Amino acid sequence: MLHKLYIYEVKYSDYKHVLKKHNLRVTDCRIDVLERFYSKKHALSMKVIETELEGYDRVTLYRTINSFIDKGVLHRIPDESGSASYGICAETCTAEKHSHNHVHFKCSRCGQIDCLSSYSVPVVDLPGYEISDSNLIINGVCKSCNHAN
Amino acid sequence: MLHKLYIYEVKYSDYKHVLKKHNLRVTDCRIDVLERFYSKKHALSMKVIETELEGYDRVTLYRTINSFIDKGVLHRIPDESGSASYGICAETCTAEKHSHNHVHFKCSRCGQIDCLSSYSVPVVDLPGYEISDSNLIINGVCKSCNHAN
DNA sequence: ACAGTTTATGCAACATTATTTCAAAAACTA
DNA sequence: TAGTTTTTGAAATAATGTTGCATAAACTGT
């Protein structure tokens, strides 16, 4: 993975810091997974992660994702398709409490899921129900696919 | 399945009508699956369907659910847990276009997912994006679990 | 910088969830 | 009711996710 040396010079300490902040040991796999998430702005599916990080065992990648979710680094984005996608958590997420109030947009053309962090999920008042959190996924055609058309 | 005869006297023709309306052949399996969905008000997961309709092959049940989704009889409800659930579509859904604008509520205590058909998903204005439909899943404690407490 | 401790990794096996193929059976059509 | 089309069940396969365990790597305190 020599071709990544330059990137690492710049960002390695940042990723390291993110891991430490969330009480995670600093390992090659975790750094590489983090790098993938920070370098793309959109959510990544397990399939994509497996494809892009072939060097690591599938099991290790699953465990990496799961510990990231446990510790508040990533959040799982449910998807009708079955296989979930994952997105970077806001600064505020910790192992104790995830708080994601942003909207997710899934493009039916390119298939990508964006975290629209500047749009928060509208509150619905449900008498009798006790709401802990909510998840809004909007389907349609994303900005770039719309432009490309 | 003799114990179902009474129900069938009352409802069989209704289910048959639903199938015909959606261009689906009338088969035992489809009738039984429909009956399950109409007799419970909440969404059903594949696991529950398999358990409650043991008489049919798992493959047949998968195919039944998939053709129901294709033809606009059921809609898939994404869920963080991985295994999806399914709910009855509104009268307006067809093979060409599903339109679900209602809120889904998942209870963290009993695990059930309700289709709150009287609550519609608030519209979010996303400049540049072309929205086809949206999906709001609210997590928390449902009415009955709240009361039972 | 090192020895001891804790945690992560890779591998193999396993578990769960979903799809494909194909012959036989059932549903439809006229 | 005969002919056509679709559905079903069974077996195989694929895709997705988890567990146990020995080894390797990361951390901790000195």
User: pLDDT for B115-132, tens place per residue?
Assistant: 998 898 989 999 999 998
Let me know: does A132 contact B140? Beta carbons within 8 Å.
Answer: yes
Closest chain A residue to B84, measured at CA: A82
Write down the domain spans for chain A: 2-148
Helix (H) or strand (E) holding B88: strand B85-88
What is the mean predicted confidence (pLDDT) over B104-112? 89
Q: Is the pLDDT of residue A15 over 90?
A: yes
Query: What's the CATH architecture for B2-148?
Result: Orthogonal Bundle (1.10)
Quick one: pLDDT band at residue A4, thresholds 50, 70, 90?
Answer: very low
In chain A, the largest separation of any two C-alpha atoms, in whole Å, equals 58
In this prediction, residues A10-39 reach a mean pLDDT of 92
Mean pLDDT of A103-112: 89
| Position with higher pLDDT, A108 vs B18 | B18
Query: How far apart (Å, rounded) are the C-alpha atoms in residues A49 and A72?
Result: 18
Chain A CB contacts of B80 under 8 Å are: 76, 78, 84, 135
Give the count of alpha carbons within 13 A of A149, CB side only: 12
User: How confident is the model at residue A118, as a pLDDT?
Assistant: 87
Contact call for residues B138 and A136 (beta carbons, < 8 A): no
Q: What pLDDT, on a 0 to 100 scale, did the predictor assign at position B2?
A: 37
Residue closest to A113 by CA, chosen among A58, A73, A74, A57: A74
Please, are residues B144 and A140 in contact by the beta-carbon 8 Å criterion?
no
Contact of B86 with chain A, judged by CB distance below 8 Å, is answered with no
- Return the higher-pLDDT residue of B134 and A90: B134
From the list A126, A130, A138, which residue is nearest B119 (CB)? A126
pLDDT digits (tens, 9 = 90+) for A48-67: 999 999 999 999 999 999 99
The whole-chain average pLDDT of chain B stands at 87
Nucleotide C10 C1' to residue A75 CA (A): 26
For residue A122, what is the nearest residue in chain B, using CA coordinates?
B122
Whether the per-residue pLDDT at A80 is higher than 70: the answer is: yes
Question: Do β-strands B102-107 and B130-141 pair in parallel, antiparallel, or remain unpaired?
Answer: parallel
Write out the two tokens for B23: 């261009």
Residues B113 and B136: beta-carbon distance below 8 Å:
no
Positions on chain D within 7 A of a protein C-beta = 6-12, 15-20, 25-27
For the beta carbon of residue A116, count every other beta carbon within 10 angstroms.
15
Q: What does the alpha-carbon distance between residue A83 and residue B83 come to, in Å, rounded to a whole number?
A: 9
Does residue A2 have a pLDDT over 60? no
Q: Look up the protein residue whose alpha carbon has the minimum distance to the C1' of C9.
A: A60
A29 against A40, higher pLDDT = A29
Q: pLDDT category, A78, cuts 50, 70, 90?
A: confident
